[in-house]
């Protein structure tokens, strides 16, 4: 059903060619609730004449983003290819997550395979660490302070904290699947058991279900957020500018799609 909805949407939106469409959010992370919506993200490319003009992409009428008003079922948005590649050059964490989604609705041509080949040259750990750290801190401060907590909000802090720990240990893009992160970062014991039980309750309940604070998990998150803050300040990494390779990838994709 979701795939059919997407095909209708792409047709209505007059998207010339979709290169990649995936699920993001809780369904891709591996912890959807019973009533979770579908967070669909995609990358698309226009015909060559769209790029051959004096106005750059993303300015005025030449928008480089397509967004659909969110409803109870679908949250759909997409990036035009040059916007996606500019963000890839910055090691944009959401885009890196899209590349790891295990729910792929559409994939055309060689674009994504070629992007993945360049990932090691582009990955900038500082960008991902600060992205996940800020996500964890903001959600921790906003949602985990009361005596009762929405179950899903634990995972909006746990997952970015575990992603930071993965980067610290491996210096690579973290897995998108929460269970894989959990198994890699937290050893067997009471903490992991509590997280596993919480995960089961989260997936069996509605999005807004609440329960009493779990102090063991809260203490772990508080400690690790402080540790990650210190680690980020000590990290100094430089990467080579990949612009020429990304320019070539864009031109080759344009040629492959449109001839």
pLDDT digits (tens, 9 = 90+) for 49-76: 999 988 888 888 788 998 877 677 889 9
pLDDT of residue 40: 93
The pTM of the full predicted model, rounded to 2 decimals, is: 0.91
One domain, residues 116 and 165: no
Please give the Cα distance from 138 to 99 (Å, whole number): 25
pLDDT, position 72: 77
Judge if 146 and 70 occupy the same domain: no
Say which residue the tokens 């005596």 belong to.
147
Q: Are residues 158 and 248 in the same domain?
A: no
Structural domain count of the chain: 2
Q: What is the structure's pLDDT at 210?
A: 86
What phi and psi, each to the nearest 5 degrees, are found at residue 149? -135, 140
Residues 101, 24 contacting (CB under 8 angstroms)? yes
Label residue 188 by pLDDT band (50, 70, 90).
Answer: very high
Query: Is residue 15 over pLDDT 70?
Result: no
Indicate if 60 and 138 belong to the same structural domain. no
Q: Please list, in sequence order, all residues whose beta carbon lies within 8 angstroms of the beta carbon of residue 207, skipping any fewer than 6 positions away.
A: 33, 35, 36, 150, 152
Q: Are 17 and 108 in contact (CB under 8 A)?
A: yes
Domain that holds residue 152: 125-234
For residue 44, which phi and psi values (nearest 5 degrees)? -135, 165
Q: Report the distance separating Cα 4 and Cα 7, nearest Å.
A: 5
Residues 118 and 6 in one domain: yes
Query: Per-residue pLDDT averaged across 148-160, rounded?
Result: 94
Do 107 and 215 lie in a common domain? Answer: no
Q: What is the pLDDT of residue 217?
A: 97
User: Does the pLDDT of residue 149 top 70, yes or no?
Assistant: yes
Longest dimension (CA), the chain: 61
Q: How far apart are CA 87 and CA 249, in angstroms?
A: 14
């Amino acid at each position: 059903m979701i795939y059919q909805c997407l095909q209708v949407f792409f047709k209505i939106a007059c998207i010339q060619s979709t290169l990649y469409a995936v699920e993001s959010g809780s369904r891709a992370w591996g912890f959807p609730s019973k009533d979770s919506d579908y967070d669909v993200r995609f990358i698309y490319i226009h015909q060559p004449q769209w790029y051959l003009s004096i106005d750059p992409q993303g300015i005025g009428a030449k928008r480089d983003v397509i967004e659909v008003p969110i409803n109870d079922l679908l949250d759909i948005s997409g990036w035009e290819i040059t916007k996606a590649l500019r963000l890839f050059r910055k090691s944009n964490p959401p885009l890196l997550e899209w590349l790891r989604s295990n729910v792929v609705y559409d994939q055309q041509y060689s674009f994504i395979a070629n992007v993945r080949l360049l990932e090691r040259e582009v990955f900038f750990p500082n960008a991902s660490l600060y992205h996940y750290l800020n996500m964890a801190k903001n959600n921790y401060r906003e949602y985990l302070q009361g005596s009762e907590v929405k179950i899903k909000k634990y995972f909006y802090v746990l997952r970015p904290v575990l992603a930071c720990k993965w980067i610290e240990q491996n210096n690579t893009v973290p897995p998108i699947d929460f269970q894989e992160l959990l198994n890699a970062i937290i050893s067997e014991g009471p903490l992991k058991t509590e997280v596993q039980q919480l995960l089961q309750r989260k997936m069996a309940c509605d999005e807004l279900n609440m329960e009493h604070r779990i102090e063991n998990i809260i203490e772990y998150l508080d400690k690790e957020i402080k540790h990650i803050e210190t680690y980020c300040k000590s990290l100094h990494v430089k990467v080579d500018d990949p612009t020429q390779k990304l320019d070539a990838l864009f031109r080759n994709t344009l040629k492959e799609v449109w001839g």
